[in-house]
Amino acid sequence: MKNIDFLIAFLFYVLTSEAQNELLMNTFGRKTISLNGTWHYIIDPYETGFYDYRFKERPEGDPGAYWNKPVIKTNNDWTEHSFKEPYTIQVPGDWNHQDPKFLYYEGTVWYQRTFDKPQLNENEEVHLYFGAVNYKADVYLNGKKLVVHKGGFTPFNFIIPKGLLQEKDNNLVVHVNNNRHPDDVPTVNTDWWNYGGITRDVKLVITSKQHIRQYHLQLDPEQDIAKAKRKGRFKLKGWVKFNTAISDQELTIEIPEVKFKESVSVEGNSLQLDFEVKNIELWDTKNPKLYDVNFSLNKNTITDKIGFRTVKVEGTDILLNGEKTFLRGICLHEEIAKEERRAYSKTDAEYLLGQVQELHANMVRLAHYPHNEYMPRVADSLGIMLWTEIPVYWTINFDKKEVLDNAKQQLNEMVNRDRNRASIVLWGVGNETPVSDKRTEFMTALVKEAKALDQTRLVAAALEVGYNKGKNHVDDPLGEFTDIVALNEYLGWYVSTPDGCRTAEWSVKYDKPFFISETGAGAKGGFHADKTKRFSEEYQQWLYEEQINMFKTKFPESFSGLTPWILFDFKSPKRKNPVYQENWNRKGLIDEKGNKKLAFYTLQAYYKELEELENNR
């Protein structure tokens, strides 16, 4: 009878998995049990635990499959795998920095740990949530394969069939593979380190059987924000999505600080929100005001911290809460350089964004993939605007529908995780993609997808520019569809020397905000020479001086911001100069040991000047 009950439960799980496994938003505001900590591992470069000797995926129950516990009862019993000490690894965290044997490893590593069944009442169910696994994850529980996920920087979760959970020692195994493939997103060729592993939090999430899956609440972008500020009354709009159709129940929205509380009848699997709130303070870079917002269904409450603001384009201006805003930005990889590892914690986010504040920047481009969830949450609290993007990078295979589907999946996961973070003002859909009809069709589809998912933010892509004897006309056809015209330019590094900025001429085809999404030069920290010597700190500083002068004197009036490349040096296997690089991209303003280069202070001075002008307006 027990086996029949499980089979019924598992069949129901399979038939309803798409709805049940839709992303659970805001796990921070839910009942959770952390599965972070020490896991066991097996390195499996030949995929022995996944494929049999005919190279076919092993079937369920195969004793050679690494997701099954070997059963050893007699001396004659046979096994060739086991998860045992001292083969342990920390989760979250990339495998590359945890042991020298992992340094350059790309391939398969099996992760394993056990956990006990949490205490549940009759109306509760358990979900397994992964913040990110790079790149492909096959997840097994007690010998059953439950989910496959592709994408190294976005979260996924699934409900655990109740009949599958044991009271003790549930055997959780994750097959993690970070091999690069031509039809993946990102593709085989990237200029950053391919850190492998379970790189973000793993947790059990306990919900009621009827629960809120996702929600969105923000200022109505169509309202006259200046009029709303004068009256002190703001329209809020949004929606709530449930895991199943619900009837004869109420959803309550509460913002205790402003004494707002409203209950709405629920009929169906979603609900539109539209109401007015008095006397809220708007979130901005000088006053990053956040409110506790409670969403309650069946006496189960999810609490989130939400800042309310509008961001839109008007002509060639970017407006935050109706005010023209210049984005003083910087690019940033998800890396703690001095420890040569992926960043993953709140402490990491506070350190990285603290350096952004010291630069007097008000904005960060999170390159070139969605960063961990602590980054936008800490940015919310600090008043730092963000551009966050999916890893559609360089030469994606633009001809294949399955590649576009994968990119859309990652875009959906990024947006749905962070759609309530006030700090995020730009969704990015790609970086330096070479112009062609197929590419523009592919990228335009992503722009439209992002706009359909969220109408309260801007959509951008980092475009490229052609250099033609000092005349730079920005006319990438994708610029017709994005909200701003953002491009990567490297005058003074890959093109000419820094003094080439003095004669450069710029024009933009589109009547939109003009934004420099990358510019910079390499410099090895501590290497000093004449400013004409490449890779010296003086050369990098010279480039920033010439670029800043170009911004001031030669750029069109539509110039609305910049995110130079990049705040920290970061690991990259493409960078092989044995004197100056040694597997590091040296364009950082801060070196891998945490020392600030001369150019940091040059950009800092420019940003201080802009900040003072803004404060005196």
Map 190-203 to HEC letters: CCCCCCCEECCCEE
Rounded to whole angstroms, the Cα distance separating 127 from 159 reads 4
73 phi, psi to nearest 5 deg: -115, -25
- pLDDT value at 506 more than 60: yes
- Rounded to 10 deg, the angle between the 537-553 and 598-615 helix axes is 30
pLDDT reported for residue 90: 98
Give the domain ranges of the chain. 2-208, 222-307, 313-615
By CB atoms closer than 10 A (0-12, 13-18, 19+), residue 12 is middle
Q: What is the rounded end-to-end Cα distance, in angstroms, of the chain?
A: 75
Q: How many whole angstroms from its chain centre is CA 45?
A: 28
pLDDT reported for residue 2: 44
β-strand partners of 570: 585
Helix (H, G, I), strand (E, B) or coil at 553: helix
Of 439, 461, 332, nearest to 390 (Cα)?
A: 461
Higher per-residue confidence, 542 vs 72: 542
Q: Are 102 and 42 in contact (CB under 8 A)?
A: no
pLDDT reported for residue 577: 96
pLDDT reported for residue 170: 97
- pLDDT value at 503 more than 50: yes
Name the average pLDDT for the chain: 94
β-strand partners of 109: 43, 176
User: Check: CATH 3.20.20.80 for 313-615?
Assistant: yes
Q: Render pLDDT for 394-435 as a digit per residue (tens, 0 to 9).
A: 999 999 999 999 999 999 999 999 999 999 999 999 999 999
Q: How many whole angstroms from its chain centre is CA 76?
A: 50
- State which H helix or E strand residue 328 sits in: strand 327-332
What single string gives the DSSP state of each residue in 444-496? HHHHHHHHHH-SSSEEEEEEE---BTTEEEE--GGGGTSSSEEEE--BTTTBS
Rounded to whole angstroms, the Cα distance separating 380 from 307 reads 7
Q: How many whole angstroms from its chain centre is CA 394?
A: 18
Name the CATH superfamily, with its identifier, for domain 2-208. Galactose-binding domain-like (2.60.120.260)
Rounded to whole angstroms, the Cα distance separating 300 from 251 reads 10
Q: Which spans in 136-232 are helix H?
A: 225-231
Tokens of 236: 């809020």
- pLDDT value at 515 more than 80: yes
- State which H helix or E strand residue 612 sits in: helix 598-615
Q: With cut-offs at 50, 70 and 90, classify the pLDDT of residue 470.
A: low
Tokens of 418: 């962070």
Q: Are 260 and 254 in contact (CB under 8 A)?
A: yes
- pLDDT value at 8 more than 60: no
pLDDT reported for residue 16: 42
Higher per-residue confidence, 75 vs 599: 599
Of 389, 202, 421, 204, nearest to 311 (Cα)?
A: 421
Q: Render pLDDT for 249-287 as a digit per residue (tens, 0 to 9).
A: 999 999 999 999 999 999 999 999 999 999 999 999 999
Sign of the dihedral defined by the CA atoms of residues 329, 334, 337, 343, in that order? positive
Q: With cut-offs at 50, 70 and 90, classify the pLDDT of residue 509.
A: very high
How much is the average pLDDT of 133-148?
97
Cα 593 to Cα 97, 345, 596, 597, distances in angstroms: 16, 19, 9, 11
How much is the average pLDDT of 474-482?
95
The percent of residues above 70 in pLDDT, for the chain, comes to: 96
Q: With cut-offs at 50, 70 and 90, classify the pLDDT of residue 310.
A: very high
pLDDT reported for residue 11: 43
pLDDT reported for residue 95: 98
Tokens of 556: 């069109």
pLDDT reported for residue 466: 72
The percent of residues above 90 in pLDDT, for the chain, comes to: 91
- pLDDT value at 392 more than 70: yes
Q: Which of 67-76, 452-461, 519-528 has the least mean pLDDT?
A: 67-76
Q: With cut-offs at 50, 70 and 90, classify the pLDDT of residue 186.
A: very high
pLDDT reported for residue 5: 46
Q: Are 415 and 450 in contact (CB under 8 A)?
A: yes
Length of the chain: 617
Of 57, 40, 568, nearest to 348 (Cα)?
A: 568
350 phi, psi to nearest 5 deg: -65, -40
pLDDT reported for residue 72: 80
Q: Are 206 and 163 in contact (CB under 8 A)?
A: no
pLDDT reported for residue 299: 87
Top CATH class, 222-307 = mainly beta
Rounded to whole angstroms, the Cα distance separating 235 from 34 reads 37
Torsion of CA 592, 598, 601, 604, to 10 degrees: -70
How much is the average pLDDT of 323-351?
98
Neighbours of 528 (CB within 10 A): 12
Q: How many whole angstroms from its chain centre is CA 361?
A: 20
